[in-house]
Structure 1
Amino acid sequence: MGDVHELPRPRVATGHLAERIGQPVCFVGRVEKIHPTGKFFVLSDGEGKHTTVELSEPV
């Protein structure tokens, strides 16, 4: 498998993120909150819907 940064990624909104768990995606939106541990953050998409992202390692 190639480098994750070289492969094409589908652009998704909040409503479709659950279909892409564990897959690289392109999410256009804004960061609303970052948890103090750096492992969780809240994003909002262009429709104003929010989603929480959990990382395996902190940012």
Structure 2
Amino acid sequence: MTGNGCHCHISVWNTDGSVNAFADKDAPFGLSAKGKTFLFGIMRHGPALAAITIRR
């Protein structure tokens, strides 16, 4: 999100916290299908997220 000084780190784990839901060692770039879907959502809704986090 260009121009946004606000950032966060996000990870998603299974219910017992033992497996990163974004990781898949056999997938291209090591990114699971769930990770790809999440990343697409962040990119798709980036302008709306920026609108509520950027100060003017």
TM value normalised by structure 1: 0.19
Please identify the structure whose Cα radius of gyration is greater.
2
Higher strand share: 1
Q: Which has the higher contact order (CA 8 A, sep 6+)?
A: 2
TM value normalised by structure 2: 0.20
Higher helix share: 2
